[in-house]
Amino acid sequence: MFTRSGIVLIADCAVILLSFAAAFLLRFDLHLDADSLDLIGHTWAFVLVIYLITAYVRGLYRGLYYFSSFPDLIRIAQSVGLAGIASAATIMVVRQGEFPRSVLILHPVLA
């Protein structure tokens, strides 16, 4: 039903979104109020798109199926770092300081 690349893409989306939610949970001591849920609801799409585009541009989906090597690890770290910076910049522009900055730091670490 699903191709291997489709399954990898779905898994990547799940990891990105779960780590985003986990960053919020860690920031707010495992308790999310309505404002936090509203922030997640307004920003998750930006984060997901930026991370997936960065992963594609950095070539993460080329050799990930059969083996992973040290260069693959370097590409993953570069992709996550670049996506973290890009999503932080986008969210800070869109949300104009309403977003907790600690989540912007925690998310790439968890992803």
Could you tell me the pTM of the whole model?
0.82
Output Rg (C-alpha) for the chain, integer angstroms.
15
Q: pLDDT digit string (tens) for 62-107?
A: 765 566 778 878 888 899 999 999 998 988 888 777 888 888 889 9
Helix and strand numbers, DSSP H then E, in the chain:
4, 0
Q: pLDDT digit string (tens) for 13-45?
A: 999 999 999 999 998 888 888 888 898 898 899
CA distance 3 to 1: 7
* Centroid of chain to Cα 3: 23
CA distance 14 to 7: 11
